[in-house]
Each structure stands twice: as structure tokens, then as C-alpha cells.
Amino acid sequence: MVDSQEISVTVREFNILFKLLSYPNKTFSRSQLLDEFWGVDTTTGLRAVDVYITKLRDKFSGSDVFEITTVHGLGYKAVLK
């Protein structure tokens, strides 16, 4: 919930968000997230992770609890505020 408003997410969005928030300040590479949530045999490109991260950032932009940040050259992490 953000500002007393329930935010709906897809199963994959939830799984990515849960992973990031379970390990705050730990950086996960695109490859790690892709392998875990799409499977190692997927033909999906690494940019799919970027799309999901963008969607999550948009949905939770009003959150005063956490933010998803980019660690340039490495990947993404959740930072608690």
C-alpha cells in the first residue's frame, strides 16, 4: 500500500519486489533476476528485467519506505528510506 492505496502487481512483479526487499542494499544483476524469475533456458533478453523494474518504480514512486535504485554496471537493489 502506498498512501493508503492498494497497489496491484503481477506475480512476477511481486516476486522481483519480494526478492529485492528481502535483501535490502544487496545488488542483484539483471542475469540473476532473469535466471531466477524467467528460468535459465529463457530466450527473453536482459532488458525484460529493466521493463519490470521500471514498472515497479512507477507503481511505488510514492513510497516513503523504499526505493529501487540502479547500481550502474551491476544491477538493481532496494534501499530502505
Mean pLDDT value across residues 34-50: 92
Q: State the pLDDT at residue 40.
A: 83
In sequence order, the 6+-apart residues with CB closer than 8 A to the CB of 20 are 28, 68, 76, 77, 78
The Cα 78–Cα 74 span in angstroms is 13
- Residue 17 in 3-state DSSP? helix
Taking each helix axis as running N to C, give the angle between helix 30-38 and helix 47-59, from 0 to 180 degrees, rounded to the nearest 10. 90
Under the banding of pLDDT at 50, 70 and 90, the label for residue 62 is very high
pLDDT of residue 2: 87
Q: What is residue 9's predicted lDDT score, i.e. its pLDDT?
A: 97
- 4-35 pLDDT, tens digit each: 899 999 999 999 999 999 999 999 999 999 99
pLDDT interval class at 77 (50, 70, 90): very high
Q: Which has the closest alpha carbon to 9: 45, 47, 63?
A: 63
